Structure 1
Amino acid sequence: MNKSKKVPMDTKELLASLEKDARRISNNDIMKARSFMLNYVKFLPEKYKKAYSTELFSYYYETFMEIKGLRSNPVIEEIDIETYNELVKNYSQQFNEDPLESYFQRFMSVVTPYLIFITKKPLHPVGMILPGGMTIMEPNGEYYCPIKNKQTEVDIALCKYCICKDNEEVVKTDRYMCGKSFRY
C-alpha cells in the first residue's frame, strides 16, 4: 500500500501489486512483525493474548503465504478507490512508536487489502475469541462479528472495511430461516 504507486483500479491490478509487495518481505521481516505483535499483546489477559499472538498472527501469515504463492487470475472487479485510499490513510496512522511497527505495518499492508478487496474474508479468523468472549461466526456463508458496530467510533479501527456484518444481523436473519436455528 505504498502511497507513491499508482492506485489500483481493479482487483487484478491490486493483486499484482500485493504479490509484488509480498515478494519483497523477507522471513526476517515477518519475524520482526511477529515480535511486534507479541509485544503489543503482552498485557492482555491470557486468553486474549493467545488469540491475538497465535491465532490472529497465524491467520495473517497463512494469508500472506497465500498471496506470495498465487499464480492465478482473480475475478476482476472494480475497487472503490475512495475506500482503498481511506484504508491506506487509516492504516498508516496506526503505527508510530515501536521500531518493529514498520515491519508489522508493511506485512499488514499486503494482508489487509487482500482480505478486504480480493478474498472478501474477515480481518479476524472465524472462531477467534474477541473481547467479551464472543467470536467471529460464519453461519450460512456469511461472516458476523460481535464487535463490528461497537468499533465504529474508534478512528483507527479497520472494522468498517471488514466483510463481517454485526451479530445483530444474525438475529434478524435467523427469524426468517424457517425454523432453522443458530446458536451463538
Structure 2
Amino acid sequence: MTDEHETVLLVDDESALVDLYANYLGGAYRVLTATSGEEALEVVSDAVDVVLLDRRMPDMRGEEVLREIRSNGIEPQVAMLTAVEPTVDIVDMPFDDYRVKPVDKPELLGLIETLLERAAYDEHSQEFFALASKKAALEVGDADDTDEYEELCVELEEVRERIDATLDRIDTRGAFADLAKLS
C-alpha cells in the first residue's frame, strides 16, 4: 500500500530518465529529483524514505553519494539503479538493493514497495535482505565464483543464524497467550 507521504529521491545524471521515473512514481509517492551527486546530497534528508541512485555520474559517483548519505546518519532504503553490471566491488557498498537498467514501471513500483516494506523490518532482517540482494546481483553478473562472493555467502548465513536464534528465543506460548485466552 502506498502513501503519498512516502518520499522517493531519484538520482541520475540523465534528466530524461529522472523525468520518466518521476512520472511513473508521481501518483503514488512524493518524488524528489537530483541530476548530480552534489544535488542529491543537498536534497536528501531524514524525510526521504527511498533513494534510487545511479552509479555512474560525471561529478560524483553513486557509491560516493551513498557513503556520504550514510556518513551523515541518514538511513533511507537505497537501491542502486544503474546500467553497470554488478561485480564484486558491490559487496562493501551499503545499499539495500541493486537493479540494472532499464527498469519498467511495474518493476520500479515493485522495487519501491519492497524497500518500504523492508524499512519496517528489524535491523537484522534489513541486513539479511541487503546481503541477499547483493548475492543475487553477483549471481546475475556472473561474479559468483569469487572469494568475495563466498565471503558474502558466509556473512549471509551468519545473519540468518542470528535471526533464527532470535526467533528461537521467542516463547511461542507467551507470544500467543492472548490468543489462547480468546478461545
When normalised by structure 2's length, the TM-score is 0.31
Whichever structure has more strand as a proportion of its residues is: 2
Larger Rg: 2
When normalised by structure 1's length, the TM-score is 0.31
